[in-house]
Amino acid sequence: MAYLTLAAAILSEVLATTAMKYTDGFSRLWPSMGTALGYLLAFALLAQTLKSMSVGTAYAIWSGAGTAVIAAIGMVFLGESAGALKILGVLLVIAGVVVLNLDGAH
User: pLDDT digits over 42-58, tens only?
Assistant: 999 999 999 999 998 89
Q: What pLDDT does residue 106 have?
A: 43
CB-based contact 7:42 (threshold 8 Å): no
Section 3-24 average pLDDT: 97
Rounded Cα distance, 47 and 5, in Å: 10
The answer to whether residue 59 scores a pLDDT higher than 80 is yes
What does 53-93 look like in DSSP terms, one character per residue?
S-HHHHHHHHHHHHHHHHHHHHHHHS-----HHHHHHHHHH
Burial zone of 89 (CB within 10 Å; 0-12 exposed, 13-18 middle, 19+ buried): middle
Q: What pLDDT does residue 104 have?
A: 62
Section 19-35 average pLDDT: 97
